[in-house]
Amino acid sequence: MAFTEVTHSSNAATSGASNGKTPSYTLSQFTVQEELGSGSFGVVQKVINQETGEACAMKVLEKAQVLQLSMQAQLKREVLTQLRVKHRNLVRLHYYFEDASRIYCLLEFADRGHLFSYLKEHGSLPEPRAASFFRDTACGLDYLHGLSIAHRDLKPENILLFGEALLAKLGDFGWCVEVTESEPTRKTFCGTLDYVAPEMLLGEPHDKRIDLWALGVLLFEMLMARAPFTGESKKETVKNICEANFELPAGFMARGPEELVNGLLVKRQEVRLPLEQVLRHPWLRAREDLSSWSSDAERRAPELVVSNAPRPKVRSRRGYGAG
């Protein structure tokens, strides 16, 4: 994959498949329907395959921006990693194309959007729905970790939802990294503050267990409608994270998820609950079949809160709901 010199025409597909087979995709097959979002490097569009009618997401990256920020190696790692992984709880990259000025990544289209928008709309989630999202995400992470890959940017914005059952898939591999025997730890600072682990803020080496911390933050946020460490200022938030200082108000979380949160949000990496134990936890094993959990059932489900104490306010990061 050459990000600095590209000789392919704008309609020529660049092969990235490891099995040597060339997919029958060309850029001319796709028509843009709408823009889904934008970022530092380009935009994400909803596109339609004119031959099949299938909807896909097309990430369009401007090479000039990538080169200006010296992000070639990171982008190449992202694309090749996402081509490599195949799991029901990871967003699939079907293919990529290049021309002289842009890189086009053809991805699964999340017809139900991302989890961040879902949380903005629904606030704190009923326990069965939170368990479903949490288990899906943990399964995707478990697969990645089995390949010695750390995601390093787990957050609701990077968890996409699919179909009536709201299957959750972890996406955006921009900060992923392979952790090997020759390089077992990394020191790059990355991610979003609410989800960053103490070792990263303290400038210490980190490994795959950084994702375990983020998984604990995710579960807390889904059930409490706020991040666990948010303070009155950024400085206070950083202090809370570095000290693993958070509170679980009595009666606001059932015993099962409370055990998982307390087992994952541990300052010392080596003491965090391993993914194998997370996925074997009775709270998740009891909810493995959630196919009948519909949106209508979700709206009718009782609130998890059993306390008379005032509910915590929803966090405000990036426009998260006002409470």
* Residue/partner pairs of 98-101 with CB below 8 Å, 24 or more apart: 98/1, 98/2, 98/3, 98/6, 98/8, 98/14, 99/6, 99/8, 99/9, 99/10, 99/27, 100/6, 100/10, 100/63, 101/62, 101/63, 101/64
Tokens encoding 255: 């015993």
What CA–CA distance (Å, rounded) separates 312 from 228? 11
Say whether 111 is catalytic.
no
The catalytic residue among 99, 111, 136, 153 is 153
What DSSP character marks residue 311?
P
Mutual angle of helices 127-146 and 255-264, in 10-degree steps: 30
CA 155 to chain centre: 5
Question: What are the CB-based long-range contacts (under 8 Å, 24+) for 80-84?
Answer: 80/1, 80/16, 81/149, 81/173, 81/176, 81/178, 82/173, 83/16, 83/17, 83/18, 84/18, 84/147
Helices 255-264, 210-224: axis angle to 10 degrees equals 150
Indicate which residues carry an active-site annotation.
153
